Amino acid sequence: MIAITREVSRSIVHCELTHLERTPIDLEQARAQHAEYESVLKYLGLAILSLPEEPSLADSVFVEDTALVLDECAIILRPGADSRKPETESIAKVLAPYRKLFYIEAPARVDGGDILRVGKQINIGLSSRSDTNAIEQIQDFLQPYGYEVHAAMASGCLHLKSAVTQVAEDTLLINPAWTDKKNFARMKFVEIDPSESYAANALLIGDTILYPKAFPKTRMKLEDAGIKIAVVDADELAKAEGALTCCSLIFQD
C-alpha cells in the first residue's frame, strides 16, 4: 500500500474556510503533527510517497481532494474552490505510472473529501464543493468496473466525510445531524458523541483507524465497539477544516 502525502504549505494561513472562523495556525506545529501522521501510516505498513510543499497553494496538504484512486483506475478531480484547482496537475503526474487516469471536465466540481467509498459502493456528497455534473461523470467512468455511484446529502459541514467515515469493513462513524444513515445501505453505525460535532473523522488502514486526540468521548464509543485505534494529534490542520482522510491518497501499488 502506498500513501501519497504532501508537506504543509507555508501559506496554509490563507486556506479556504467555509464553516470555521479563521484562527491562527502554527505552521511548525502543523508540520510536526503531519510528520507524526506520516509516521503512524508507516508503522501501519504503508510506503509513504511524500511530495514537497507547494508554497503558493495554501490547502495543498489536503491531497485527498485532488483524486479518487481505485484498483482499476484513478480519477483526477476538479476541486470546488478555484484556489485549489492547480493542485491536481502534480498529483496527476505522480499517479500516471500507477493507474489509467480519467479527468473531471469543467464546469463540474468535486472534492475528494465528498467521496466515501465502501467496497464497490461510492457515495458522493452534494456540497458547496461538489455537484451533480461531477457525479454523472464519475458514474460514466466507473460503470464498466462495476461500481455503484450514489449522491448523498450532507449539511452543516464542509464535506460528506466531515459527517461520516468508515471505521470497519461494515461500520461507519457518523454525525447523524449532518447526514442521514439512510444514505448508506447495509452498514452498521457508531454515532459520535453529540458534544463533539467534528468527531466523525477517522482514517481506516487495515483493521485500525487513525483517530484525533481531540474527541475522547467518541473515542470511548469506538473502543466499546471493538475498533482498534491509533491516536494522533491533528488540531492545527483541523483549523483549516482538514480531517485525517484529507491528508493522504492511499492505494495498492
Cα(109)–Cα(222) distance, rounded to whole angstroms? 33
How many structural domains is the chain composed of? 1
The pLDDT assigned to 56 comes to 96
- pLDDT for position 135: 97
Instruction: Give tens-digit pLDDT for 132-141.
Output: 999 999 999 9
User: How far is residue 149 from each of residues 26, 122, 137, 161, 225, measured CA to CA in Å?
Assistant: 38, 5, 10, 16, 28
Tell whether the model's pLDDT for residue 193 goes beyond 90. yes
The arithmetic mean of pLDDT across residues 225-241, rounded, is: 95
Query: Taking residues 149-166, what's their average pLDDT?
Result: 94
> Grid coordinates in use for 153?
446529502
Say if residue 20's pLDDT is above 90.
Answer: no
Average pLDDT on 229-235 reads 96
State the cell numbers at 240. Answer: 483549516
Indicate the pTM of the whole model.
Answer: 0.95
Residue environment code for 122-159, b if the CB has 16+ CB neighbours within 10 A, otherwise e? bbbbbbebbbebbbebbbebbeeeebebebbebeebbb
pLDDT at 33: 97
User: What would the mean pLDDT of 203-229 be, rounded to a whole number?
Assistant: 97
pLDDT at 185 over 90: no
pLDDT for position 18: 86
- Region 210-236: what's the mean pLDDT? 97
Cell of 179: 447526514
Q: Give the CATH number for residue 208.
A: 3.75.10.10
The owner of cell 464519475 is 138
- For the cut 90, the answer to whether the pLDDT of residue 128 exceeds it is no
Question: Residue 157 belongs to what domain range?
Answer: 2-251
Contact 21, 66 (CB under 8 A): no
Q: What's the mean pLDDT in 84-96? A: 97
- Rounded to an integer, the average pLDDT of 208-218 is 97
What is the model's pLDDT at position 70? 98
Distances from the Cα of 252 to the Cαs of 1, 47, 240, in angstroms?
4, 10, 28
Check pLDDT > 90 for residue 19: no
Q: Which of 121-125, 154-158, 219-223 has the lowest mean pLDDT?
A: 154-158
* 228-232 vs 188-191, strand pairing mode: unpaired
Cα–Cα nearest to 202, from 180, 223, 177, 181: 223
